[in-house]
Amino acid sequence: MVVVPLIFGSVFHGMELTTSMDVLSQLTFIFVATSFLCISMMTTSLPFVSRGRNVFYRECQCNMYAPAAHSLSLAVVELGYSVVLSSVFVHSFYWLCGLDGHYTRAWLWFWAFMTSSVLLWSYIGQLLVFWLPTPQMAELLGGGLASLSFIFSGFMIDVETLAVVWRWVYWISPVHYMLEGIVMAQYHDQTAPVVDVLTKTNVAIRDFVEGFFNHTFSPDMIGHNMVLLWVVIGVVQLLLLRCMTAINHTTR
């Protein structure tokens, strides 16, 4: 995870925002990079947790550890790993890509949302392994959940454009809350003008970004989004504990 952000960051190193296309390119790159890290964390956790599942079943049969203790240990270990990994990624990626370095608040929110999202997707990987009988099924369902979550995050299709029957997917997508928090913290203070390539007029970066998302993203929701991310993390942890307590995939 040291090489990957260096590769990503080198693409936009020294980039200046002069047109609306530059802003859009930067937005897209933020979305792609954060999505890549989240998916990577989920997929790489699956084989490790799958091997640990057999150890967990043996310990339960020997009455060595309760499921709650095992679940807590998984959560604590993953928390430390996610904090270190996201710190390495964000420190390399953020400054190389020329993101807003004048506002410490923007950088802190970026790191906080990345850490929370990486942690969440790691926990989702753990949940899938203990819920489903085989790692292959966990990979298949995990890929589908990730695809839906990123498609309905609000970047490709804003909530006002979505059909009413699909809007519930947007509201339960954790990627939506991560993306809104990162984007609004990064751009809502940027009032420098850029040239709109469609109208050939000057527009503030903040106004262009809000218009791109059809004014469905709001800076007032940054803290709210962080709270919701941690609510989802709590729900996933409770589901994981339930699966560890009630489901056993060992075969005789």
Domain ranges of the chain: 3-246
Token digits of residue 96: 């190389």
What CA–CA distance (Å, rounded) separates 83 from 41? 12
In this prediction, residue 1 has a pLDDT band, given cuts at 50, 70 and 90, of low
49-63, 125-139, 233-247: least confidently modelled range: 49-63
Tens digits of residue pLDDT in 175-213: 999 999 999 988 888 888 888 888 888 999 899 999 999
Per-residue pLDDT tens digits for 127-143: 999 999 888 899 899 98
What pLDDT score was predicted for residue 57?
81
What is the value of pTM for the model shown? 0.89
In terms of phi and psi (left: phi > 0; alpha: psi -120 to 50; beta: otherwise), the region of 173 is beta
Residue 251: pLDDT over 60: yes
